[in-house]
Amino acid sequence: MSGERQSRREIVFFGRMLHDRGYVAAMDGNLSVRLDEERILATPTAMCKGMMRPSDMVIVDLEGRCLAGRRCVSSEIGMHLLIYKMRPDIGAVVHAHPTTATGFAAAGMALTQPLVSEVVVGLGSIPLARYGTPGTPELWEALEPFVPEYDAILMSNHGVVAYGGDLHQAYMKMETVEHFAQIALVTHILGKQEPLGGNDLEKLILARSRYQGNRSAARLPVAMSCGSLDDSRDLARKDPESALSDVVSKPRVTRPR
C-alpha cells in the first residue's frame, strides 16, 4: 500500500481530475484508499472534489468509525467498505457521476454488450445494480451481488463505482466506463450494433492474462443474455442475484436483426 502522505496527495489529484472532466459536479462523488488492513483514507462529505487539500481527508476503520480527521467522512463510505471487505485485492475505490454512463444508469440500461475490444479485456462488461437510496444500506446491498465478479458497476439512477489495486487503476476504470458509454450511445443513435462474438471474443478473453493493465481478481464476465441495448432494461429490472446469474452464464452473443 502507498504511504498515507502519498495517498492523500493522490486523492486530491484524482478528485481534481474527476471534477475537471465533468465526472462530478458541486460536492458529488467520493474516493478512498486502503491504507492497511484496518484503515481506510476517504474523502470528506460536503466538499467539492476539485477543491480538496490533503489535510481534508478522513481515516476510518472497516466499520466506518472515524479514527482521524477534522471533517466528517462521506455518507457513502459504506459502499467503499463493502468493496474492501469483499475484495481483498482492492486498494482504492472511486464513485462518480460521469454524464453518459449515468445516463445509461438512469435509463435502466447496463453496458454489457461486447462492442469494444479494450473494454472486453479491461472490464469484461459493466452491469447495472438496482437503485438504492444514497447513504443507506440499500445502496451497498444493491451492489453486493456484483462486487466479486466486476470491477465497475452502474448504479441505477445514481452513477458509477469503479475500483482497483490502487487509485490510478480505479480512476482509469472510471474513465473506461464513461468512454465506453459514449461509444455505446453512438451505436444506439445509429440504430445498429456489431457485438464481438465467437473466436474474436474468445481470443480477447484469453488475451487478458497478457494484458499489463488488468490484474483483477474478478472474473470480469463478458457474456449477456440480451441482444441489444434496449433489451438490457430487462436485466436491470430483475433481482440482482438473478441478474448476476444471467450475466455470468456461458457467452451467448446475439447480433441485432
Structure confidence by residue, pLDDT tens digits, 32-63? 999 999 999 999 999 999 999 999 999 999 99
Of these residues, 76, 138, 149, 202, which one is catalytic? Answer: 76
Total residue length of the chain: 257
Q: Rounded mean pLDDT of 210-233? A: 63
Q: Rounded mean pLDDT of 105-112? A: 97
128-129 vs 152-155, strand pairing mode = parallel
Residue 76 is among the residues annotated as catalytic for this protein: yes
pLDDT at 29: 97
pLDDT at 209: 77
Which residue type, as a one-letter code, is found at position 81? L
Q: Is the pLDDT of residue 225 over 60?
A: no
Q: Partners of 154 in the beta sheet?
A: 128, 160
CB 167 within 8 A of CB 14: yes
Task: Please report which confidence band the pLDDT of residue 234 belongs to, taking 50, 70 and 90 as the band edges.
Answer: very low
Q: Partners of 73 in the beta sheet?
A: 44
All three cell numbers of 194, joined, read 456489431
Q: Is the pLDDT of residue 239 over 50?
A: no
All three cell numbers of 255, joined, read 447480433
Query: Could you tell me the fold of the domain covering 4-247?
Result: L-fuculose-1-phosphate Aldolase (3.40.225)
CB 157 within 8 A of CB 105: yes
Share of the chain above pLDDT 70, in %: 84
All three cell numbers of 23, joined, read 465526472
CB 73 within 8 A of CB 58: yes
